[in-house]
Structure 1
Amino acid sequence: MGLQPLKCRSLVGRVQAQHAGSRQPLRVAAEISYIMVKPDGVQRGLVGEIIGRLERKGFTLRGLKLFRPSRQLAEEHYKDLSSKPFFKDLVEYIISGPVVAMVWEGNGVVKSARKLIGATNPLEAEPGTIRGDFAVQTGRNVVHGSDSPENGEREAALWFGSEDAIVDWTPALAPWLRE
């Protein structure tokens, strides 16, 4: 059973909302990001806190699932790190327990979410970021976030597998968050 590609590009730029009292649709050029609460974040009960921070920022949750990833999935996700000495330990860690896989959408969601998440090394992460507030060491840094819009789409496709797993909806607050 191979991994099936997801065509997430159909979500990008499709967000529409109505201005209050206007008949003109509001088009928003949005992007998606894959964000994962890693096993340590799930075990420590940080899922709600992480989701809350992203929601309060104004991003739209498009996909969410709790599951224990396979070795194949973890290795494919981190394939760009396969030559690193920590690759095997990273894969073992990611498959060691449940993760919460999410797809978020919004203007600049990748860059903004990475600021909310904080530096990979928690000792360098600013207070107020997820890692700055909760992570203990690099190998247990609570959360993953896509590092580019292209990787956001690739990772969403990898972890969600079909476009049916991504929900296309317009939040009622959209006109209050975007021009």
Structure 2
Amino acid sequence: MIERTLVLIKPDGVQRQMVGKLLNIFEESGLKVVGLKLVKPKKENVEKHYAADEKWMVSVGTKTKASYAEKGVKLDKTELEIGQEVRNKLLSYLVGKPTVAIALEGNEAIYAVRKIIGSTEPKKADPGSIRGRFGTDSYAKADSEDRAVRNLVHASEDKENADREIYIWFDKDELLDYTVANEPYL
């Protein structure tokens, strides 16, 4: 099934001059770039992207608590409080810093991109994934410095998020429909 998804090359990926390398990985995987731009995100856009959605924040907080529990560390904050902190760190990290927004299209693009980028925490990501291969950060280091984890890229989690996120970063007329030479073979 052909679908579209959003990828953001976060400020750490831009600062490390990895934009071309990461684009190449997506294209070599058979994904087609249908939207691309370098942006300095405004607060309103980032707040829409990481919406103050209680369900999302609780989910993030739950994953964070579980990650710490694996290390034998008990967090006293609620899942919602942890999720709010993570959101605030992400807002602080992205607002006003160079970021590349990419809309990709391809067969099961959302799943393909999630597999290509790897686990959110670089040290836990598969070695062949973008985060596993190029990521150097960890949750522990990010927490010790009270900042968001530097994991190079963001990718839409599912179809609902992809449909929402793409139009936060792109106007409809900025997304192109065209055919690439290898499409009949993919």
What's the TM-score once normalised by structure 1's chain length? 0.79
- Return the alpha-carbon distance in structure 2 between the equivalents of residues 127 and 113 of structure 1: 15
Structure 2 residue corresponding to 1:166, chosen from 147, 168, 175:
175
In structure 1, the gaps of 5 or more residues are 1-28
1:149 is aligned to 159
1:89 is aligned to 89
Structure with more of its chain in helix, by fraction: 2
- Return the alpha-carbon distance in structure 2 between the equivalents of residues 52 and 110 of structure 1: 17
CA-based RMSD of the aligned residues comes to: 1.3
Report the CA distance between 1:97 and its aligned residue.
1.3
Partner-residue secondary structure (3-state), 2:34: strand
- Return the alpha-carbon distance in structure 1 between the equivalents of residues 182 and 127 of structure 2: 28
Structure 1 segments (4+ residues) deviating >4 Å: none
Structure 2 residue corresponding to 1:45, chosen from 17, 21, 28:
17
% identity of equivalent residues: 40
Pairing 1:28-43 to 2, within 5 Å after superposition: 29-43=1-15
Report the CA distance between 1:110 and its aligned residue.
0.4
Report the CA distance between 1:96 and its aligned residue.
4.5
- 8 Å Cα contact 1:39/1:96 also seen in 2: no
Report the CA distance between 1:153 and its aligned residue.
1.2
Pairing 1:48-127 to 2, within 5 Å after superposition: 48-79=20-51, 80=53, 81=56, 83=80, 84=83, 85-127=85-127
Deviations 1:91-118 (A, max 9, x none): 0101141100010001111011101000
User: How many residues matched?
Assistant: 148
- Return the alpha-carbon distance in structure 1 between the equivalents of residues 168 and 16 of structure 2: 25
Report the CA distance between 1:86 and its aligned residue.
2.1
What's the TM-score once normalised by structure 2's chain length? 0.76
1:14 is aligned to none
Corresponding letter in the other structure for 1:171: V
- Return the alpha-carbon distance in structure 1 between the equivalents of residues 40 and 27 of structure 2: 24
- Return the alpha-carbon distance in structure 2 between the equivalents of residues 134 and 35 of structure 1: 16
- Return the alpha-carbon distance in structure 1 between the equivalents of residues 136 and 46 of structure 2: 22
Partner-residue secondary structure (3-state), 1:36: strand
Deviations 1:12-39 (A, max 9, x none): xxxxxxxxxxxxxxxxx41000001000
